[in-house]
Amino acid sequence: MLLEPEQYEPAFARPEEAPDEALRRVRPFLVLLLDGAFKEANSDVFHARLKGVPVVLFAAPSSVAEVRANANARGIPWFAMPVDRQTLARVIREAVASGATRSGHDRRQPSARRASDGTLIFRDRYGSEWQVYDRRAGDRRSHSDMENGYRTFVNNEGHEWVYKLAPHEGAENSVAALERQLASAVRRDT
């Protein structure tokens, strides 16, 4: 509930689903919020599998000292529960902007470019390329036509992810906007 007003679309692990399994199921995503009490929060192998995904640890009141120490040792952001919406949104923005990963290194920088045919190509931080297409209801004459529009991301394997555009997002083609939109997109079953 705290993330939805910030236009983030949270995805959660299923009951009894291990963090590794949840990561494979919901990729790509913008940032991983991980309970700092989980053994994976302190696992070098788990963090290596994240391949550049920004991580934010969170702590229950009983685990603040342990989570703070782990987060500081890894150079990644953290927060204590309960948390307010503004603090959570700020921590997520800072993690994404800094490329905060398990080791503090960002392996790849996302990028965007236009192909010779005009297609927008987005390369994510994992090195995958996505062709980006905007679909809108009606014609393109007015700004309000974007209200029912969506953006489709198609990778080289043909997997298609769809992001519903808010009215102001149709013209947003920055790397940060594309990364956020892809992370919030939903896979279209074909």
Determine the structural domain holding residue 165 and report its residue range: 111-188
Looking at residue 180, what is its pLDDT?
85
What percent of the chain shows pLDDT beyond 70? Answer: 83
**Count of domains forming the chain:** 2
Closest listed residue to residue 177, CA positions, set 133, 122, 140: 122
Q: 103 falls in which pLDDT band (50, 70, 90)?
A: very low
Q: Are residues 90 and 16 in the same domain?
A: yes
Q: Are residues 93 and 115 in the same domain?
A: no
Identify whether the C-beta of residue 151 lies closer than 8 Å to the C-beta of residue 180. no
pLDDT one-digit tens code per residue, 133-159 = 988 755 444 444 445 689 999 987 777
pLDDT one-digit tens code per residue, 27-79 = 777 889 999 999 999 888 888 777 778 889 999 999 999 999 888 888 888 99
Amino acid present at 132: V
Q: Are residues 87 and 130 in the same domain?
A: no
Q: Are residues 92 and 153 in the same domain?
A: no
Q: Is residue 105 part of a domain?
A: no
160 vs 102: which has the higher pLDDT: 160
Looking at residue 142, what is its pLDDT?
44
Q: Are residues 91 and 126 in the same domain?
A: no
Mean pLDDT of the chain: 80
Distance, in Å, from the CA atom of 58 to the CA atom of 165, rounded to the nearest integer, reads 30
